Amino acid sequence: MFDTSHILAVNIPVGDHITRSGFNLDTIYTTLVACGIVLGTGFYMARRATAGVPSKLQLIWEMVVGTIQDQVATALGPKYRRVVPLAVAIFMLILVADWIEILPGLFHNTDYAPSPTADVNLTYALAIVVFVLTNAASIRARGLGGYFKHFFRKPVAMFPLHIIEEIAKPLTLALRLFGNLFSGGIMIALLISFIPRFWAASIIFTPVWKLFDMFIGAIQAFIFALLTILYYQFAIETDGH
**What is the C-alpha to C-alpha distance for residues 214 and 175, in angstroms, rounded to an integer?**
18
237 φψ region: left (φ > 0), alpha (ψ -120 to 50), beta (else): beta
89 binds another protein (CB under 8 A): yes
Among 10, 12, 65, 216, binds another protein (CB under 8 A): 65
- Answer for which of 112, 182, 209, 232 binds another protein (CB under 8 A) is 182
Size of the site for another protein (CB under 8 A): 56
Over the range 127-154, which residues count as b (16 or more CB within 10 Å of their CB) and which as e? beebbebbbebbeebbeeeebeebeeee
* Binding residue for another protein, selected from 67, 69, 172, 183, defined by CB under 8 A: 69
**Distance separating alpha carbons of residues 190 and 184, to the nearest angstrom:** 10
Tell me: does residue 43 bind another protein (CB under 8 A). yes
Q: What is the CA radius of gyration of the chain?
A: 21
Q: Interface with another protein includes 159 (CB under 8 A)?
A: no
Q: How far is the CB of 47 from another protein (least distance, A)?
A: 8
Residue 94 beta carbon to another protein: minimum distance, rounded to whole angstroms:
10
Window contacting another protein (CB under 8 A); options: 123-131, 158-166, 208-216, 227-235 = 123-131
